[in-house]
Homo-oligomer: A and B are copies of this chain.
Amino acid sequence: MARLIQAADLEDIARGAAVLGTGGGGDPYIGRLLAQQAIREHGPVTLVSLDEVPDEALGADAGGMGAPTVGVEKLAGGTEHVLAFQALETQLGRPLTHVVCGEAGGSNSTLPFVVAARLGRPLVDGDAMGRAFPELQMSIPAIYGVAATPLALADQQGNVVLLTAVDNRWTERIARAITIEMGCTAALSSYVMEGATLRRTLVPGTLSLCQELGQLIRAARARHQDAVERVTERLGGRRLFQGRVTDVGRRTETGFARGHATIAGVEDWRGQECRVEFQNEHLVAVRDGTVVASVPDLIIVLSSDTAEPVTTEQLRYGLRVVVIAAPCDERWRSPAGLALVGPRYFGYDFDHVPMAPPAADGRHGDSPAGRSPGRGPCVSAPGRRGRPSP
């Protein structure tokens, strides 16, 4: 059912999106501020569910590309996102009827509200990943053969680039080079899809799930409940580790934020160590030398007390965190999905071991009946060793 999203809703949505963003997807605070400002100036955004999207609809995503480490220093303005979206319309020669959310992530799930509010277009309640991923070809529509181009990039100076590439890998290569030259972050619109394709390929209900996660964290905090546990339950996930961050290695290279965090265990994990490696988003979690979760499953780092999602650029020494894993959209587990986003694509020499059977509807949902979503490893991969990031 279509519903209106007001500025006040954005706090929950941004926080929930940062949970699903698995460390990436951009800063939730900056994205929220931009979306709230746009809604205050232009009125609320109409959020339509996927099954309400008509066949004759034409949608494209609106968001950002680049290194989150840069995005928190070189702040987006919002106008460049409108510029990119409109450039795509000009290229297509017809209006885009719907704004789409490309990925679940702190800013990439809130920037679509900026474009939707400023241009008065409905926003589709769904996304193309059910989480965030660092590269352009990594989307569920791409598994179905949807091309990422025509694609538009724009920067805050007003430079606009339109790209038509022969495949999505070339799209990623060329768009990444442009983004780096634009200052390591850029506004992006891509993956133009008609109504039927949107309905078939997107992950439904993502923005509502973001809002629900945000509400749930807020409510748990108010009631002094264990907010981390509520999030874990809602996502059908498992708690992998709890501890204090003792080391963070981070570098911005080839347009990405790459690095790792080392966490020293507390409580059940005292004496153990967990290493989380990332490329914009968390890629693998390695506990005492054993891989306990990997892409495409969601590896989520939350502040221990408040369940505040911790993006990779916020990771710092001393932070008390919980690492949880949650099952990805089941389409990521297909051979085509794993070719795009499995551990081997990112340079690891092991296959993906699903952290748990996907939820009954194939998406983030309640945990399957009879399975305890409590603590403890869900993936036991003896003999598979994490290796340093490529």
A interface residue numbers (CB < 8 A to B)? 87, 91, 157-166, 170, 173-174, 176-178, 180-182
Contact = CB atoms under 8 A, between A and B. Distances in A.
B166 A158 contact: yes
B162 A161 contact: yes
Contacts of A161: 161-164, 174, 178
Copies of the polypeptide in the assembly: 2
A170 B177 contact: no
Contacts of A176: 181
A163 B177 CA distance: 14
Contacts of A162: 91, 161-163
A241 B78 CA distance: 58
Nearest to A158: B166
Nearest to A181: B177
Q: Among the interface residues A158, A164, A166, which one has the most CB atoms of the partner chain B within 10 A?
A: A164
Nearest to A164: B160
A157 B174 CA distance: 12
A327 to B, nearest CB: 35
A17 to B, nearest CB: 30
5 contacts: A159-B165, A159-B166, A160-B165, A162-B162, A173-B181
Given A159-B164, A162-B161, A166-B159, A182 B174 contact: yes
A157 B166 contact: yes
A159 B157 CA distance: 25
A11 to B, nearest CB: 35
Contacts of A180: 177
Given A173-B181, A178-B177, A163 B160 contact: yes
A181 B91 CA distance: 23
A165 B165 CA distance: 20
A247 B165 CA distance: 42
A162 B160 CA distance: 8
A381 to B, nearest CB: 36
4 residue pairs, one from A and one from B, having the closest CB atoms: A177-B181, A162-B162, A158-B166, A177-B177
A162 B161 CA distance: 6
Given A157-B166, A161-B162, 12 more contacts: A159-B166, A160-B164, A161-B161, A161-B164, A161-B174, A161-B178, A162-B162, A174-B181, A177-B178, A177-B180, A177-B181, A178-B178
A158 B167 CA distance: 10
A174 B166 contact: no
Contacts of A166: 157-159
Contacts of A157: 166, 170
Contact of A159 (B87, B160, B170, B182): B170
A176 B163 CA distance: 15
Contacts of A163: 159-162
Contacts of A177: 177-178, 180-181
A174 B157 CA distance: 12
A164 B176 CA distance: 17
A167 to B, nearest CB: 9
A173 B161 CA distance: 12
A148 to B, nearest CB: 12
A157 B91 CA distance: 21
Contacts of A158: 166
Contacts of A178: 161, 174, 177-178
